[in-house]
Structure 1
Amino acid sequence: MKKNWKKLAVLTLLGAQVATVSLTSYSVLAEESSSAQSVDLSAETEAYKKFVSAEIDQLLKDTENFAKLIQEGKLDEAKKVYPLIRKAYERSEPIAELFAESDVKIDYRLADYVEDNQTEEGWSGFHKIEQILWEEGKTEPAVSYAKQLVDDIKELKAKVATVEVTPENMLTGAVDLLNEVATSKITGEEEIYSHTDLYDFEANIAGAEKIFSIFKDKISAKDPELAKNLTEKFKAVNDLLASHKVDADHYKLYTDLSEKETKALAEAVTKLGEPLSQMAVILEADESGR
C-alpha cells in the first residue's frame, strides 16, 4: 500500500513517468446528483460486501498457513506463497483501506512508515515479513511478525463485518485501485524486496474489474458503449499481464521486465483509467425520473 493516492484521475504516462490530471471526483458527482438520484444500488453494494468478506476470509486462512510455514522454517515455500496470499488483500482494498489503522499494520511499506513515524520501530505486516524472508533469508526472525499479522487480519475481518458499503466506496475504490497500479506499483516500489509486483498488479486490476462486473448491467443500461469499452480495456490489460506468467499461478519477477514491457503495461492501464472513471454514470437519475 502507498499512502496519499486517494484521488480520481486520468493517468498519463510519459515513458516511466506518471502524471495525473484531476477529474471531477465521485463524491462531488454524487453530491450534485443526490437530489435526483433514483437508482437503487442496494443489491450491488450487498454483493460487493459479500465479495470482500469472502476475500478477507480467504486472506485469513491463507495467512494462517503462511505463518505455519514460517514457524516450521520452510523458507522457500513461504516465499513462493507470499505473493499469492497478498492478492486477496489487494483485491479488497477499497474496503480494507477504509480502516487506516489496520492497513498500516497489515500493508504499510517501510518508506511510508518511516516518513510518518521517523523510525522503523513498530513497522509490521506483509512487507516487514517480505524484508526478512528476502533480505535475511531466514524464517525465525519473521515468526513473531507472522503471528501478529494473523491477529491483525482477524481484527480487520471483524471490522469489515460492520462496514456499510456505499456505491461511492465502490466507484471511487475501483479507480483508486487502478491509480495505485499506475502511480506507485508501476515503479516497482511496492514489493522492493521480492519484486513480486505483477501479482499485485493482477489483484488490483481484478478488484476493479469485480466492481465493474457488479455494476455492469446498470452501466450497460445507461451507456452501452462505456460498458463495451471497459470490457475490452480490462481484457487488454489482463491479456498483457498473462503474457508475463511463468506458469498458471506465478509471474516473472518485475525486475525481469524490459523497459518496453513496463511501458506497455503502463499504457494499457492508462487506457483503462479514463473509461473506468466514467462508471459514476450509474449515479445519475434517468431524465424520466427527474
Structure 2
Amino acid sequence: MSHRPTAALTLAAALVLPLAAACVPNDAPADDATAAGAITVSSTADACDVSTTEAASGPLTFTVTNDGQDVTEFYLLGEDGLRVVSEVENIGPGLSRDLVVQARPGTYWTACKPGMVGDGIRAKFTVTDSGADTGPTGDTAEQLAAAEASYVAYVKDQVGALVAGTQEFADAYAAGDDATARDLYAATRVHWERVEPVAESFGDLDPLLDLREADLEDGATWTGWHLVEKDLWQPTPEANGGVAYTPLTPEQRQAAADDIVANTAKLQEQVTDPAFTFEAFQIANGAKELLDEVATGKVTGEEEIWSHTDLWDFQANVDGARVAYEVLSDVVQERDADLADALDERFAELQDLLTAQGSVESGFTSYDQLTEDQVKDLAAAVDALSEPLSRLTTTVTGA
C-alpha cells in the first residue's frame, strides 16, 4: 500500500519503531548527541529541527516528535537525496516515534515531510567514523550475513512470482476478460505485499504501482493496481463522490496494464542487480513496517476499497513480517529468548484468526462480510504483535 504521492521521498525501507530509547535535548551539544547515539527531531509545518547535524557511525536512534498540526514523516536519505536508508511515517500531532538505523560513515540527508506530501524539509547530516565496527562481529555477524542472504533470496523469489502473475493478470484485463482478471487480482498482489518494504526503497515504484485514489495529489496521474481495481469493481455513484463511474476505454485499459507490467519489471531489475542488498536492520524495520501496513490499511478496509480483498493483503503482510523475523530469529533467540517466545506466540495467534477466514490458496472472506467483532479481534491481535515486533531492530542491532 502507498499512502504517499509520487515524489523522491516515496522510498521506504523502514518505519515507526516505538522504542524506549534515550533522548537528548534539542539544545544539547552535538558531541553529547554523537556520544549517546540518540538524536531528537522536532517536526512542524515549516521546520525539521534535528538536535545535531553530525553523529558517529554505529547504531543511531532518531526520536521524532510531531510538534505540528498535521501527520508527519521523517526520513534518513543517502548522499544522493533519493535513496532512503530508513523512514518513520504516520506520526500524529503530539506523538513521538523512534527510528533506529545502523549508520556507516558518510553524508546523508534528514527530511521531515509534514502532511506526508511534497519533498520535505531537508538538511545535510554527516556520519563520522567512530573507529568501531559498524554492526556486529564474530559469530553474530556471520548469522546476520546468512540472514541477509536468505532474505534477499526470498525477495527475489517473490518478485519473480509477481512478474509472472502480473503479466497473466495484465493480459486478461487488457483483453476485457474481467472474470479472469478479478480472480487473479488478489492472488497476484500477495507477492507484492509480502516484500513491499523492499519495493518502497526504489524510487517512485511504490506509488506508481500501489497508490490509492484517496492519496492522489491534485493534478497527478493515477496509475497502478488500484486504478485497475476500481475499473474491475466499478463503484456506484454513491460510492464515487456522487457521480457515475466512467469505465476505462480499451486503450486506457491497455495503457494501465502496460504500466503495471513495466514498473514490475523495473522492480525485478532492481532486486536481481548483483549489488542489491538488504541489511539486517532494514529487514527488522521492514517486519514492523509490514505490520503497520496492516494496522493502517488492511484492518480498516481502506486498502482494497473496491474489491474488498483486504484479507489477502493482510495475510501477505503477515507472511512477509514473519519471514523477516524468522531469518533473524537465531540472533533474537540468543540475545532475548523471551522476545523470541513472545513473537512466536503472537504470530501464531494472529495466524489462527486469519486461517479462520480462509487462505491465499482457497480464498478469503470478503472484508465487507466480516463482523464487527471479527475485525476487532484481528485489530487486537495486530496490536498485541506490534509491541514485541517494535523491539526487533534494537535487539538485532544491539542498539
TM-score computed with the length of structure 1 as normaliser: 0.85
Q: 2:17 aligns with which of 8, 13, 20?
A: 8
Shift of 1:267: 0.2
The correspondence of residues 164-175 of structure 1 with structure 2, limited to 5 A, is 164-175=277-288
**Partner amino acid for 1:94?**
P
Q: 2:101 aligns with which of 7, 27, 32?
A: 27
Shift of 1:246: 7.7
Q: 1:126 aligns with which of 225, 228, 232?
A: 225
Shift of 1:71: 3.1
* Count of aligned residue pairs for this structure pair: 274
Distance verdict in 2 for CA 1:126–1:247, change over 3 Å? closer
Aligned-partner SS, 1:189: coil
Shift of 1:168: 1.7
CA deviations on 1:9-49 (whole Å, 9 max, x unpaired) are 48xxxxxxx99875543228999997673331111111111
Relative contact order (C-alpha < 8 Å, sep 6+): which is higher? 1
Moved over 6 A (4+): 18-21, 28-34, 136-139
**Greater strand share, 1 or 2?**
2
Bigger mean CA deviation after superposition, 246-255 or 89-98? 246-255
**Partner amino acid for 2:309?**
T
**Partner amino acid for 1:124?**
T
8 Å CA contact 2:288, 2:389 repeated in 1: yes
The correspondence of residues 1-290 of structure 1 with structure 2, limited to 5 A, is 1-3=1-3, 6-9=15-18, 22=96, 24-27=98-101, 37-38=136-137, 39-40=140-141, 41-114=144-217, 118-119=218-219, 122-135=221-234, 140=250, 141-162=252-273, 163-245=276-358, 248-280=361-393, 281-284=395-398
8 Å CA contact 1:74, 1:139 repeated in 2: no
1:288 counterpart residue number: none
Shift of 1:107: 0.8
8 Å CA contact 2:18, 2:97 repeated in 1: yes
What stretches of structure 2 of length at least 5 have no aligned partner? Answer: 5-11, 20-89, 105-126, 235-244
**Greater helix share, 1 or 2?**
1
Shift of 1:277: 1.4
Aligned-partner SS, 1:25: strand
**Partner amino acid for 1:187?**
T
What stretches of structure 1 of length at least 5 have no aligned partner? Answer: 11-17, 286-290
Distance verdict in 2 for CA 1:130–1:24, change over 3 Å? same
Structure number with greater Rg is 2
TM-score computed with the length of structure 2 as normaliser: 0.63
Distance verdict in 2 for CA 1:128–1:52, change over 3 Å? same
**Partner amino acid for 2:330?**
D
